[in-house]
Amino acid sequence: MIDQIVRNYREAVYETDREAAFAVVEGALVAGLTAEEVVFQVVIPALEQMMSEITRDPDANLAQHFMTAQIAADVTERMLVRFSHPPEAVGRVVMGTARGDLHSLGKRIVTGCLKALMVEVIDLGVNVAAETFVDRAVAHDAQVIAVSAMMVHTAAGEHGARRVRALLRERGIEDKIKLVVGGAPYRFDEQLYRTVGADAWAADGLAAGQVIADLIRAQRRLDIP
């Protein structure tokens, strides 16, 4: 039964049909699956498989990429309220695009993947000043700042991740808040993340989710006295 549900869910997401995807998961609940099974056995495996297929296919449709992550995030949010033991969020991230950068699609895909992996995301939007990233991360007690940049000058320039790193250092909070970056320039130069002072980077939404969730877990272990 589960295999058929997974196939139906994938088909709905390939068609970017959000309502059909909701109908599949509601049907799965009626058929006896728990909300936990829907998330962990249907939504997340489908997200992983589809993201890796889409990432490998240079002709992949951008809308499909975007909708896969959005639908996964929406279905997960619907299911979470029905979990028998509501899961604790893995942790908290503040996310935005670098100062001067208005490219929002990559950030939105990453946000969707993070939500599906049960990471709480505070989305600061686009064109975010470095000071805002740091102020909001402190205010929300976030473990990670995630900066998306699609242009070379916003990825490598002085007003993006480099400035966030400088502020974390000035304020003495580098051990508490980690900095993760992503966007096309980091894919072209895989060492660029180090040059700008980030702790990590990831090439796509799913890898971003995993890298960030791992950093949060490591941070939380350090917090335990």
Select from 181, 192, 215, 216 the one that contacts ligand B12 (CB under 6 A): 181
What is the x/- site pattern for ligand B12, positions 143-162, by CB under 6 A? ---xxx-xxx----------
> Which pair of tokens denotes residue 62?
């951008």
Q: Give the contacts of 142 (CB within 8 A, at least 6 positions apart).
A: 91, 92, 93, 94, 122, 136, 177
Tell me: does residue 91 bind ligand B12 (CB under 6 A): no
3-class DSSP state for residue 163?
A: helix
How far apart CA 111 and CA 205 sit, in angstroms, is: 8
What is the x/- site pattern for ligand B12, positions 22-61, by CB under 6 A? ----------------------------------------
The window from 13-21, 35-43, 165-173, 175-183 that contacts ligand B12 (CB under 6 A) reads 175-183
What's the Rg (C-alpha) of the chain?
18
Nearer to ligand B12, 76 or 154 (CB): 154
Nearer to ligand B12, 5 or 205 (CB): 205
Tell me: does residue 109 bind ligand B12 (CB under 6 A): yes
Which DSSP letter does residue 168 get? H
Tell me: does residue 2 bind ligand B12 (CB under 6 A): no
Q: Give the contacts of 146 (CB within 8 A, at least 6 positions apart).
A: 93, 94, 95, 96, 110, 180, 181, 182, 208, 212
Residues in binding contact with ligand B12, number by CB under 6 A: 28
Tell me: does residue 68 bind ligand B12 (CB under 6 A): no
> Which pair of tokens denotes residue 100?
């001067």
Q: Which position has the token pair 């495996």?
A: 45
Nearer to ligand B12, 5 or 90 (CB): 90
Hey, what amino acid is at 132?
A: T
Select from 99, 107, 162, 163 the one that contacts ligand B12 (CB under 6 A): 107
The answer to whether 185 and 192 have CB atoms below 8 angstroms apart is: yes
The binding site for ligand B12 (CB under 6 A) comprises: 62, 65, 100-107, 109-110, 146-148, 150-152, 180-184, 201-202, 204-205, 208
